[in-house]
Structure formats: C-alpha cells, structure tokens
Amino acid sequence: MAQKWTYETLAAADKATLENILRTGTPPDIEALNGYIYCGWNHEWIGRLSGIKFKKGFCKRDGINYGYNETVVQDHQGYLGQWESGLHKVRPNQLGYFKTAYVKDQPPTKLSEPYRHLATVDYTVPFHKWYLIFFRVIKDFVVCPNEGDNSLLLCKAYLHFSDNFNVFYCYFILGHRYEIRYLPW
C-alpha cells in the first residue's frame, strides 16, 4: 500500500523523495481547487526570501482558472503554527497572480518535459502591478501526493527566464485549505 502523505510528513521529506513524488504522482483536479485557499510552506531555506509561509488561492475569472498569493505574518514556527494573513488596509494582501492548467495542454518546453503529467501554475498573466512584474518568471509544477486528494499539494517552483535558462527555487507544500473569503477581483 502506498504511503499516505500529510503536511508534516511532506515537510520532513528530503528533496529526493519530493522529486520522486512529483515524477510519479498525479495532477490535482484543477476545477476542484477553485474556491479554496491553501496554507503554503516553502521547503527550502531560500523560501525565506519571499516568506517561508504564504497562502495560495484558486478561483475562476471569465471561465479561466486563475489564482493568487496572500502574504502571511511570519511566526517562525516552520510548517507548524498559524497562517495569519498579512493585511492591506482591511483585506488580505493579495499579489502574485497566476493561471492554472494541465502541463500537457501547454506548449512543451525543456523545463516541463519531466512534468508533462502534472498541473502548472504560470505567473505570466496581465494582472501584476508594474512593481511586481518579477512574478512573471515564476513557474510551478503541482502534484497530489495522495492520488485524488486535492486537499494536500506538493509543488516545485522554478524561475523560468527562457527555455534554456531555468533556476530551481524550491519545493513547497499547500494544505490546510479552507474556502476563500476575499476574492482578489
């Protein structure tokens, strides 16, 4: 019987195990992600640059699957503790917009080759304010560690500058989901 992954066991897993899950797992049902926001945790130390904890919401706009990130107050408790949204006035601070799709439905690239069976989060969308344009180089690949369970996701983030120039950023986990209260638009 396959291992049943939890947020905690994924957080404790090494990079080789996480990569194996990505290469052998199944994609989430993109439609089933819509309407939910997930608590995220960056697995690698470099995630501290952007905030080790964050939230990622999924929703539809004009019939297309999109999403966004929310900043979180960093509580220095790793993958434990709370995910308290950072606020901009009275609403959560939302930024980093993206489109979700299945990799197989996108034009093939060298970067996506090992992940053609997964879903992708692609930040090349027109919703970024000019000072947040750097988000457009981010490309994530998304898998369900437990087949058919859209409540826990493992992702791998890259900085995608061109087909020949990609930089691994980190693995990250999405879980502890709940219904979205504040849509970004």
Q: Which domains does the chain have, with CATH numbers?
A: 7-179 (2.40.128)
Joined tokens for residue 113: 């080759």
For the chain, count helices (H), then strands (E).
3, 10
1 has a pLDDT exceeding 60: no
Between CA 155 and CA 174 the distance in angstroms is: 8
Joined tokens for residue 100: 């979700």
pLDDT of residue 113: 96
pLDDT of residue 146: 98
112 has a pLDDT exceeding 90: yes
Of 150, 185, 159, residue with least CA distance to 38: 150
CA terminus-to-terminus distance, the chain: 43
Per residue in 48-66, pLDDT (tens digit) is 777 899 999 999 999 999 9
Per residue in 25-39, pLDDT (tens digit) is 999 999 999 999 999
131 has a pLDDT exceeding 80: no
For residues 139 and 118, the answer to whether their CB atoms sit within 8 Å is: no
pLDDT of residue 176: 97
For residues 46 and 60, the answer to whether their CB atoms sit within 8 Å is: no
Q: Residue 17: pLDDT band by 50, 70, 90 thresholds?
A: very high
* Chain centroid offset of residue 167 CA: 16
pLDDT of residue 51: 85
Residue partners of 125: CB distance under 8 A and separation at least 6: 66, 97, 98, 99, 136
